[in-house]
């Protein structure tokens, strides 16, 4: 007859030789990834123990031993001598079990007036907050790199595109400053997210709060939070802060990806607007002439991972009843993956932007192609000849058709031919048909005129200086 153990072996399959317990352990344990939270876990426990002693919930002696034990564990983990155990499920129980080995029964007093539910909410918030501060600083470096390049190219002309067709000439500085606006918004989302998550969960306990006379304001302050959370049920069931981190990361990654795509296009021999430095490109193993924009391509691709991470956690959270459910343990890997990916993308893009070799001549040549100053001709007819814009648009269309037929630029059409299209055209029109004049004339607020671009750069420099102090709680 088969023993019960053997029966279970057969049911669960060969991989789990020791029966259903091993399967449970494998699905239940999070230590494989949540050991990343060790520093936050120990910091949280130190603050909690200090508060328990201050309020008389545990003795000063016990607190001293607990603190000493926790600090020993911290250095064991940091020097690599700590043994993590899957049987102990997660970082919280791994630390607590080791604490008991080190200091004996007093270790059991640390978990008074708390639960793993508020403990994990605390650890994870602390981690996400620190990551947001890293992203804030990385965005600051990226913005500085952009503003410097934009200043250099405030008057360098390039074609502006819509539908990826030449539309109107713009300056390269103006185009770069478009990304400054985008990454500036990303940075303000980071700061908003920090502001909103800046509340301490510890003391919410399992979900209902605790009967012990805890001081949640004390722990909040000790851990650098603005204040404690206000509703214990919400506190242990909320992962908005993780979702916000993922959604702002996804938006930022999408911005990085659009820029990466432009770099890929600009660096083709067909465009030739920019050349990537050797440090951010690779050669081909078979085609000696090639220089591939790998870093840009990988930035474009890694956006997929981050978008996936966001969808993964949104899907975990949807339909969860209040308060804590074990589903929420699945929050961490998505956030860790997105964080690692975004940090790398931001660093690579900052390096690439700083290194980019810009071919001003190629941009200038392209800026004049494709009748890019046609709108300037139409505007001139409105301004100087008093035509309604629709009529001017029509006349300009005829001029473009003629230039196309002659295979020349608008500025090369003889005056008689232009006058045959509209008799009020004078040779003053040629001044607006050049790319440089077209660009210089767009002085509306936020427009592409070098004077306006420089004004925006000045304003951004001030703003970056003001924002240079790290994002933190106010």
Question: Which of the residues are catalytic?
Answer: 163, 284
Question: Site for ligand ARG (CB under 6 A): which residue of 324, 371, 380, 460?
Answer: 324
Report the nearest approach of ligand ARG to the CB of residue 116 (Å).
4
3-state secondary structure 129-173: HHHHHHHHHHHHHHHHHHHHHHHHCCCCEEEEEECCEEEEEEEHH
| Sequence-ordered list of residues with C-beta below 8 angstroms from that of 406, at least 6 positions apart, any chain | 412, 413
Per-residue CA distances from 356 to 277, 282, 460, 465 (Å)? 6, 15, 21, 24
Contact yes or no for 185/247 (Cβ under 8 A): no
What is the C-alpha to C-alpha distance for residues 141 and 135, in angstroms, rounded to an integer?
10
Report the nearest approach of ligand ARG to the CB of residue 337 (Å).
16
Question: Site for ligand ARG (CB under 6 A): which residue of 51, 99, 120, 205?
Answer: 120
Interface with ligand ARG: number of residues (CB under 6 A):
10
Burial class (CB in 10 A: 0-12, 13-18, 19+), 326: exposed
Report the nearest approach of ligand ARG to the CB of residue 345 (Å).
27
Binding piece for ligand ARG, criterion CB under 6 A, among 6-14, 77-85, 114-122, 274-282: 114-122
Contact yes or no for 438/372 (Cβ under 8 A): yes
Contact yes or no for 330/311 (Cβ under 8 A): no
Question: Site for ligand ARG (CB under 6 A): which residue of 43, 48, 116, 189?
Answer: 116
Comparison of 118 and 144: residue with beta carbon closer to ligand ARG: 118
- 238 is a contact residue toward ligand ARG (CB under 6 A): no
Question: Site for ligand ARG (CB under 6 A): which residue of 156, 210, 247, 329?
Answer: 329
- 122 is a contact residue toward ligand ARG (CB under 6 A): no
Per-residue x/- track, 27-66, ligand ARG (CB under 6 A): ---x---x--------------------------------
Comparison of 339 and 345: residue with beta carbon closer to ligand ARG: 339
Burial class (CB in 10 A: 0-12, 13-18, 19+), 130: middle
Binding piece for ligand ARG, criterion CB under 6 A, among 154-162, 224-232, 320-328, 410-418: 320-328
Question: Mutual orientation of helices 240-266 and 116-152 as an angle, nearest 10°?
Answer: 30
Pairing state of beta strands 199-200 and 227-228? parallel
- 117 is a contact residue toward ligand ARG (CB under 6 A): yes
- 328 is a contact residue toward ligand ARG (CB under 6 A): yes
Binding piece for ligand ARG, criterion CB under 6 A, among 299-307, 322-330, 405-413, 460-468: 322-330
Residues 62-91 close enough to bind ligand ARG by CB under 6 A: 90
Distance, CA of 368 to chain centre: 36
- Applying CB under 6 A, which residues contact ligand ARG? 30, 34, 90, 116-117, 120, 324, 326, 328-329
């Amino acid at each position: 007859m088969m023993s019960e153990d053997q029966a279970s072996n057969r049911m669960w399959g060969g991989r789990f030789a020791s029966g259903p317990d091993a399967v449970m352990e494998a699905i239940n344990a999070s230590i494989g990834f949540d050991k990343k939270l060790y520093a936050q876990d120990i910091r949280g426990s130190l603050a909690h123990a200090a508060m328990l002693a201050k309020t008389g919930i545990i003795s000063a002696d016990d607190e001293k031993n607990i603190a000493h034990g926790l600090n020993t564990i911290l250095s064991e983990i940091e020097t690599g001598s700590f043994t993590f155990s899957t049987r102990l499920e997660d970082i919280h129980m791994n630390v607590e079990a080791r604490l008991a080995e080190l200091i004996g029964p007093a270790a059991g007093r640390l978990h008074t007036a708390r639960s793993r539910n508020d403990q994990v909410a605390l650890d994870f918030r602390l981690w996400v907050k620190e990551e947001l501060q890293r992203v804030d600083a990385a965005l600051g470096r990226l913005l500085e790199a952009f503003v410097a390049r934009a200043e250099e190219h405030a008057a360098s002309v390039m074609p502006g595109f819509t539908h990826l067709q030449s539309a109107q000439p713009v300056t390269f500085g103006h185009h770069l400053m478009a990304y400054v606006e985008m990454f500036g918004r990303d940075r303000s989302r980071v700061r908003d997210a920090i502001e909103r998550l800046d509340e301490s969960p510890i003391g919410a306990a399992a979900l209902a709060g605790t009967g012990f006379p805890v001081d949640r304001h004390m722990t909040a302050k000790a851990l650098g939070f603005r204040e404690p959370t206000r509703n214990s049920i919400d506190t242990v069931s909320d992962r908005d802060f993780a979702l916000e981190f993922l959604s702002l990361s996804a938006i930022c990654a999408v911005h990085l990806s659009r820029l990466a795509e432009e770099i890929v296009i600009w660096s083709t021999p067909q465009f030739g607007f920019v050349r990537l430095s050797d440090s951010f490109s690779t050669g081909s193993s078979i085609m000696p002439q090639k220089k591939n924009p790998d870093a840009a391509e990988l930035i474009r691709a890694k956006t997929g991972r981050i978008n996936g991470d966001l969808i993964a956690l949104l899907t975990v959270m949807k339909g969860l009843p209040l308060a804590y459910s074990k589903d929420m343990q699945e929050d961490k890997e998505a956030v860790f993956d997105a964080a690692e990916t975004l940090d790398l993308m931001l660093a690579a893009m900052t390096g690439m932007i700083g290194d980019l070799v810009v071919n001003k001549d190629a941009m200038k040549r392209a800026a004049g192609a494709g009748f890019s100053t046609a709108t300037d001709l139409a505007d001139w007819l409105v301004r100087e000849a008093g035509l309604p814009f629709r009529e001017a648009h029509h006349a300009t269309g005829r001029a473009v058709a003629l230039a196309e037929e002659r295979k020349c630029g608008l500025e090369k059409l003889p005056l008689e031919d232009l006058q045959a299209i509209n008799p009020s055209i004078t040779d003053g029109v040629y001044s607006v048909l050049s790319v440089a004049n077209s660009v210089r004339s767009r002085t509306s607020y936020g427009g592409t005129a070098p004077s306006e671009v420089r004004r925006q750069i000045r304003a951004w420099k001030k703003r970056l200086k003001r924002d240079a102090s790290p994002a933190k709680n106010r």
